[in-house]
Amino acid sequence: MSLQYLKLGFLASGSASSARAIVAAIQAGELAGEACVMVSNNRSAPALEFARAQGIAAVCIPTKDDAEAADRRIAEVMAEHGVELIIMSGYLRRLGPQTLARFAGRILNIHPGPLPAFGGEGMYGRRVHEAVLAAGAPESGIVIHLVDEEYDHGAHLAQTVVPIVAGDGPEDLEARVRAAEPGFFVETLQKLSRGELSLPAG
């Protein structure tokens, strides 16, 4: 079987648990690809320390003071490192127009709840799980989707169900979803590499 070799760049604001699982899969020979660069808006992000320890280029690009310059720099850094597919692994900033244009249809994010019902601006982390439970949803889920100029709006690449158990609080559901996310991201990229999935039109 001919595998598509994935040249990956990562964006993370914190520990980047999905990125860590993806890198581990590459190192174990379970995913045909290369971790080209880790970019974070947070200088103290554990994701950067992890990348350096793995010999992966690690770049901090703060976004607060000059979002336009940061957008331009993110696009440049990804291109300079040969990135073909950007993985957002807990990156808590909206991407700018230059990065979105340069990598259109090639930026993936993972969302910890069903979309579109539990997405949009401000819907991240614990808030998603609180909303899912408050709505009385029979189950939750994880969605991997393309990134565009709107929060959680891009076309879906893959989704899976995460069960809700009687008595769940938001922290219980959050823990269950978090535990499932890294493996699901790896599995989805493996299917992409094998040609079992293809990137949807933006």
Catalytic residues: 111
Helix (H, G, I), strand (E, B) or coil at 21: helix
Specify the 3-state DSSP secondary structure of 41: coil
Q: Which residue has the tokens 């019902």?
A: 117
Q: Which residues pair with 108 in a beta bridge?
A: 87, 146
Residue 100's closest CA among 75, 73, 66, 77?
75
DSSP 135-197: TT-SEEEEEEEE--SSTT-SPEEEEEEEE--TT--HHHHHHHHHHHHHHHHHHHHHHHHHTSS
Q: Which residue has the tokens 């957008």?
A: 71
Residue 142: closest CA among 166, 173, 100: 173
Q: 117, 134, 123: which is closest to 170 by C-alpha?
A: 134
